[in-house]
Amino acid sequence: MKHTVLVTGSSRGIGAGVARRFAREGHRVAIHYREREDDARAVADDLKREGCSVMLVQGDLTVPSEAAGVARAVREVFGFIDVLVNNAGIALPTQLVTDTTLADWNRVLETNVTGMFLITNSVLAEMISQKRGAIVNISSMWGVTGGSCEVAYSASKAAVIGYTKALAKEVAPSGIRVNCVAPGFVLTDMTRAFTAEVIAGICEETPLLRAGLPEDIAAAVQFLASEEASFITGQVLSVDGGRCI
């Protein structure tokens, strides 16, 4: 059965990898972006050339009216949103918590937590009325273990995990499943800027001795959204090469 899938923050990196995975499996995919229209359009154009069914949708998910507008735009084109992947997020440069300004703290929490809350609420009412749907939230290994000099990011990603578990309990009677993926170090446009020495050091600290790829995360997300995971909800799946063992 093919679904409509909304992947937030899918112009690049993990989000783009997730969008590609669902689209290439024949699902209708909404590629969401806030500012990176060119990147999002490049992902969409590549998938369209492959014959995939995709659309672009823009919006700042921290603004209630824009979050609602994103959900409405997807429904107008593709109909009922079967799967929501909450991937949109930001991180600060590595820094001491005492060097983190209130403005930076608020920006991270608003993007990583409030945005997730608003877009989820924008699709949840219809999921509840239809008594079906799957939500997969993207956290981080730092949300599980906490990262030194990553306090704001770690706090936001820990909140994603708590939100996942609580919402899973709340909406399970309506037939909706809510799960979470906690990635480890993943090679993306952002992390490829690290020096080769830094990346090698991270790989040495990872039991599987390699960095992750967006495709690794996408496979986990796709599984949790699929019927094969129909008896799984409220879980956090660490896809980190063993870093959190």
Q: Which residues are catalytic?
A: 153
CA-to-CA distance for 121 and 71, rounded, in angstroms? Answer: 10
Using CA atoms in the order 134, 24, 39, 80, what is the torsion angle rounded to 10 degrees? -40
Nearest to 47 by CA among 72, 64, 30: 30
CA-to-CA distance for 48 and 42, rounded, in angstroms? Answer: 10
Asked if 107 and 153 touch (Cβ cutoff 8 Å), the reply is no
Asked if 6 and 81 touch (Cβ cutoff 8 Å), the reply is yes
The strand order across the sheet containing 54-58 reads: 54-58, 28-33, 4-7, 83-86, 133-138, 176-183, 236-239
Nearest to 110 by CA among 89, 87, 84: 89
Helix, strand or coil, per DSSP, at residue 220: helix
Residue 180's beta-bridge partner residues? 137, 236
Asked if 17 and 213 touch (Cβ cutoff 8 Å), the reply is yes
Residue 58's beta-bridge partner residues? 33
245: how many CB neighbours lie within 10 A of its CB? Answer: 7
